[in-house]
Amino acid sequence: MDVTAASDECDAVLSEVERAVVTDREFLETVLVGFLADGHVLLEDVPGTGKTLTARSVATALGLEFSRIQFTPDLLPADVLGTHVFNEKSREFEFQPGPIFANVLLADEINRAPPKTQAALLEAMEEGQATIDGETMELPEPFFVIATQNPVEQEGTFPLPEAQMDRFVAKAGIGYPDEAGELELLRRRAGRFSRSPTVESVLDAERVQAVRAVAEDVRVDDDLLQYVVSVARETREDRRVEVGVSPRGTQRLFETARARAVLRGREYVVPEDVKRLAPNVLAHRLVLTPDAAVENTDKREVVGDVLDSVPVPTVETQSPST
């Protein structure tokens, strides 16, 4: 599959999801970029904005198996991974897979589960495998986690550790729709009997894998590689930041930039790809100094200042499209 065909497939997926989810297209692009970059996405916003609907719609449009876990304070790792159950007929223990064995996993309100249960996802998100009772099992391919959390309600929640935050390729908020969007939401609801809208499958597992493979062939010039590195390293120099972007974060910015180029139908990355993605890819990886935290410094603002301070390279392009 070439870049043009992959871009058309992605556009079809986004258009299908937009039939169900009333939101800014750039938000949906961020979710799809995270998937194309072989990463995972954290959605943080207040309840009722469409996070769960987004995850389910994306999985359906991609033609992939979907599973949902409602994280609660009493959720155990076995509830996520699965467990061995004794079969009375065969007199043997049989493995009953948990909901993690799906292509697209919605970890709903992930910050409501205790750290031990949150940690059950770490190996899966990084290695694409799960270890249960000492046995390592491969997860379905592709494997994509969309996690959600409510930033407002803090009672009964467990903040995600930095190590787990670093596993998410991007963090984004869906936000409230504008007035026209909220009106469109009511019009759509008035025209059907079910409360939740539905979408159709656009791709299947085989075509999804072909689309994801295209990003590996996207060209990134040396000047762009240096730009990505400079942006990441500059976060470590900011006086408001105690721990800057890790090398893993640098790599994720590179990978998502290539994925965005595919969405735009380009065989090469341009600086705009990096600038558009950097706030969502880098901000959640920063650990602020105590003084900056007390002052409620916005991490995305820090990334914005870094982007302003790093010289943007001039890259030869073959098309005016960005």
Residues 174-227: tens digit of each pLDDT: 878 888 888 888 887 776 666 667 889 999 999 999 999 999 999 999 999 999
Amino acid at residue number 27: F
Please tell me the distance from the alpha carbon of residue 171 to that of residue 196, in angstroms, as a whole number.
25
**Residue 113: what pLDDT?**
85
Please tell me the distance from the alpha carbon of residue 181 to that of residue 176, in angstroms, as a whole number.
9
**Residue 194: what pLDDT?**
60
CA distances from 130 to 27, 31, 73, 143, 239 (A): 30, 24, 21, 12, 39
Backbone angles phi, psi at 244, to 5 degrees: -85, -170
Instruction: With a cut of 50, list the residues of the chain below it in pLDDT.
Output: 318-321
Please tell me the distance from the alpha carbon of residue 254 to that of residue 266, in angstroms, as a whole number.
15
Task: Judge contact between 106 and 52, C-beta under 8 A.
Answer: yes
pTM: 0.88
Cα–Cα nearest to 44, from 172, 166, 178, 176: 172
Task: Judge contact between 81 and 129, C-beta under 8 A.
Answer: no
**Residue 195: what pLDDT?**
63
Backbone angles phi, psi at 68, to 5 degrees: -130, 135
Amino acid at residue number 60: T
Cα–Cα nearest to 55, from 24, 25, 32, 83: 32
